[in-house]
Structure 1
């Protein structure tokens, strides 16, 4: 079940907020907080980012690495796990990079649909972090525009499946779902 989607830009506070949400959910449910890290250390700067996240991470988290095959890792967890997936954008980026010139937007969308519907059907509870990349400049290359567009669609699907959605801006969490104004509801949306 996807409990919460936390979106935001770089250094917006999305991970710190998602960690607090995950720990609170785990404590309330007497579940195990699990941190599923999706990043791959491709260079020194990325290694430093990962190390910073590890150092700041609360010691109550059990950490699992899942740069690929996320559902396979999820299936090894206890049903009472409350999992923080950090982050969907990085996970999709790895899939995109691995496929290189064979990647298509349709293929990425199919991967996202399978992943997110799979998470929604699991007994474990999930808090998902992802980057909101649709508010910035238009990327120069067609490949990066495809990534941005596909991630936007993954985020929209995750938001539709999640019970709650929060957008973090400058360290401030803004509740997006529930709480939408009735004018913004589409036909078929849950109340």
Structure 2
């Protein structure tokens, strides 16, 4: 039975660095890195490259913007640690797949971002990820942003995203064996 570790924090709180260090301590070179971001602009390409260069080259990378649990099951084998970076993009990918972007997703989302079926799909994805973590023999470390402590977004899609990610974080934290919250690079164990 696997262990699930959730690493939460705000933007630039060193979540990924902390999670990578934890994965390295658990698995050494035997770590599967699961990337959920979709680099669709120059700024995201730079972020992805920075993350790529900071982790060991021996860690294989699985690109999985959606259906992460299924993707991991297909390739994980017997690794000591799986690092999923991050739930933040996974939830965004699910939301944008049904709500936008069309032209301007903030002004003209394709569908109601508060639709309960969207929330159900997101939480189903989170449940599948938690289930996958229990099935593996190693540890799964999942990184996510805490976005509920800042300014309320001005647009429906942003508010729906904040709410969805908050619920997804709660659901994953409920399943987690350990939960860490990072502030200014300082980790605090909260579970």
Name the counterpart of 1:10.
Answer: 11
How many angstroms apart in 2 are the aligned matches of 1:52 and 1:42?
A: 15
Task: Detail structure 1 runs of 4+ shifted over 4 Å in the superposition.
Answer: none
Name the counterpart of 1:33.
Answer: 31
Name the counterpart of 2:23.
Answer: 22
How many angstroms apart in 1 are the aligned matches of 2:3 and 2:150?
A: 27
- Give the paired residue count: 174
Task: Indicate whether 1:78 and 2:77 are aligned.
Answer: yes
Matched position secondary structure for 2:190: strand
Q: C-alpha offsets along residues 104-136 of structure 1, whole Å, 9 cap, x if unaligned?
A: 333323332333334333444200000001111
Report if aligned partners of 1:41, 1:50 keep a CA contact under 8 Å in 2. Answer: yes
Name the counterpart of 2:104.
Answer: none
- Structure-1-length-normalised TM-score: 0.83
Name the counterpart of 2:98.
Answer: 99
Name the counterpart of 2:166.
Answer: 152
How many angstroms apart in 2 are the aligned matches of 1:7 and 1:78?
A: 26
How many angstroms apart in 1 are the aligned matches of 2:128 and 2:70?
A: 12
Compare 66-75 and 6-15 and name the one that shifted more: 66-75
Matched position secondary structure for 2:22: helix
Name the counterpart of 1:134.
Answer: 148
The offset of 1:2, in angstroms, is 4.0
Report if aligned partners of 2:6, 2:176 keep a CA contact under 8 Å in 1. Answer: yes
Unaligned runs of 5+ in 2: 100-109
Unaligned runs of 5+ in 1: 178-191
